[in-house]
Structure 1
Amino acid sequence: MKFKIITRKSNTFSTVNYILKLAVPGSTRSTIPQFSGTSNFQFAKLVDKKFEDFRASNQDRLYFHKIIGFHPSDSNKSDAELMDIAEEALKISMPGKRHFVMSVERNTAHPHVHICVALRSIETKKVHRDFVDYIKIGVELEIKHGLYNADRDTKPHPAAPAPGTMKIEARTGSKPLKNYMKESIAYSFEKAKKTSEFLELLKQSNIKLLPNLNSAGVSGLSFEKDGEVFKGSQLNYPIKKIKDKFGGDPLFTTLMQLTAEENQRLLEEQDLIGLGQKSSILRKYSNRTIDKHFLSSDEKNYYFKNTNKIAFVYDSEKNEAKLKTSNFKTIKAAAQKILETGTAVTTLPNSSDDFKKQTWLVCTLNNFPMSDFYKPSPFDLQQAIKMTKDENLKLRLERELKELEVKKTVKPESKKTKFRVDMLL
């Protein structure tokens, strides 16, 4: 058995009308009689009036909409039996006599009972505000009625999204980056049998492993994607868990050291460079990302505010910024610094494609002038369209995307070989 409880302040009519929508004869029960010839609509109006008339003067929340779900293997129970169990659960969780309407729905594999129940007791006139251990009630009733025993001790899968994350996914139609990384790392971790396979699978998902090394070996790790860095523990894959599986691999420490060296090499190529030179700074800059989120005492070393972590190092002579991390905020701040005197932003030719893409995206979304250092793919353009709030920019990007898709669909004309036939007469 599973319980879902929704607290309502008013509008009992809508809830009752909803739970009776799929009801069939014999699948409903109520403390308020529904006489023959009374439609569900009229009955819902009557229940709404009864609940409202019995509301206490200082009562805010009026009723619960409870949903009690059963396992598919309990489908053999009749509607009356399911309602008996639901009513028993109701009496245990909310002692005393109170008005309710319930119905059984079987429109999914899991039969479930909807209950609309008043919070105020008819007998004591008290409003229900007590904490209820529904898990305990569920266990007791499962044993008593021979129901499927739900395994409540099983921990969720490490990649399982939180309920709030699932709501975001449903609203936006896309996975948040952190949740995407969780799923990708979980897949790589479960699929790989040795360290090299784990690193290769992460690479295929464009996730970079960032090991922390000391004299004793690997002391910790983080994961990076699209410039966003998360500690292993934030993604349910701390160093202990990684070591438990791959620590016995004789190449584990060596591969981690090589990965750290490669990360450092890429970091050294992670520079933003200013092109051209403005004749003068025309206005006083303010309210910028670099001003709000970064601090520098020498206009050379820029730190994240309230930390001792350096974000980028700025060279005023070269108008160049060496970034220590490639997240959106750091790239934007470095670009703002460069554009104080430079006319456009560019990257080193040997910078990674990921860094070029990230820089292109930041500059595009902020309308920063930049050189032609990166050719965006249709996916890159779609990502920028989704992220921007600038309608004019969105239209321009949509035109670029359409042009790019047209170019891909137009096939170059194949050169036809001309044959000459000589006829001898």
Structure 2
Amino acid sequence: MPSILPDGEPAPSDGALPTAALEGATDRPFGVYVHVPFCVTRCGYCDFNTYTAEELGPAPGASRATYAQAAIEEVRLAGRVLSAAPAPNAPVSTVFVGGGTPTLLPPADLGAVLRAVAEEFGLAPDAEVTTEANPESVDRRYLDDLRAQGFNRISFGMQSARPHVLATLERRHTPGRPQACVAEARAAGFDHVNLDLIYGAPGESDDDWQASLDAAVAAGPDHVSAYALIVEDGTRLAAQIRRGVLTAPDDDVLADRYLRTEATLGAAGFSWYEVSNWAREEAARCRHNLLYWTGGDWWGIGPGAHSHVGGVRWWNVKHPAAYAERLSRGVSPAQAREVLDTQTRTVERVMLELRLSDGLDLRVLDEAGEATARRAAAEGLVVAEALAAGRVVLTLRGRLLADAVVRDLLGWGSDLVSSVS
């Protein structure tokens, strides 16, 4: 969740959605995202909408202690807005609590928000309920309590197994703690456990990255996410690179790291299902993220959170105090919104679905795009057999150049540089 929000058009104070957006809601998958905007410290590379206690100060309504109640108020608002649909929404199929560091809140608070979602919309019997966690913010007792609240999937931010890489990223956890968390989460009864990794940090060597991959695999998760480091404007990392204190990630190095990731995870029994995500089996895939990537509906709870229902996208005010203040007055926290036109929805579908192992339906492309897909197959960027069956699926080389392939398919032109992220 980047900290810079787009402009958009004014959002109604009651959060109401156009009638057209609510039509057919029963037939679309529906998820809930809950953003917890608190962190103990701010990592140097992070551009998310998060705040430390020092940054928030004594701002009214911005306390961890009162946050769950504010989030529940937005859940209730969502229920009122979506009750205007011609037919009820499908039960919530996925809930994802992200941040920030959600596990700075007590399990009971996270559970209270989850219960509010269940009361307002109903939870599907097999609902996936995930939270992100900083390894140093949990212990076995916390994980036991979290599981008892109804969470069944957890994602730990590991980033690296090497202390000097963690120091560059300004991550505060102890090397080895994420791996221990996997074992504790398994013992607590979590169905699925993910480790998040970041490659390409300044000062990271090939051996460092291989050690991180090996440590992640050995820990025994059934899901691994591996992202290329992106240097976001306005972060401390960007300032360090601009001053020459650190070196920017190199595209060729990032591509080599990605190939190493695919080889290591593939040999360990993981299969890619999205360019930056690997799972041991289909059941371990993150269903909530798949909902985003395939155009489903979701309501984003929390400061700066984004939502999408029926082609309407909106985003909340950023600051926790402003967020809580609006809800205390019964006003929607939405700052602005946009109604996606057909062309925008098609572009986003190409951008997101092409990154999936299932690929993109060839019929989504226009005639020029189909011709480009055939050329991409001839160049080894798209799987020829899948294309013959009507799907545009990236090869391994195509995954390295995913953004460039997307630009070509949309007729925007490309400069074939590494685009894994």
Superposed pair shares fold, TM > 0.5 = no
Q: Rg bigger for which structure?
A: 1
TM-score by length of 1: 0.21
Q: Which structure carries more relative contact order (alpha carbon 8 Å, separation 6+)? A: 2
TM-score (norm 2): 0.21
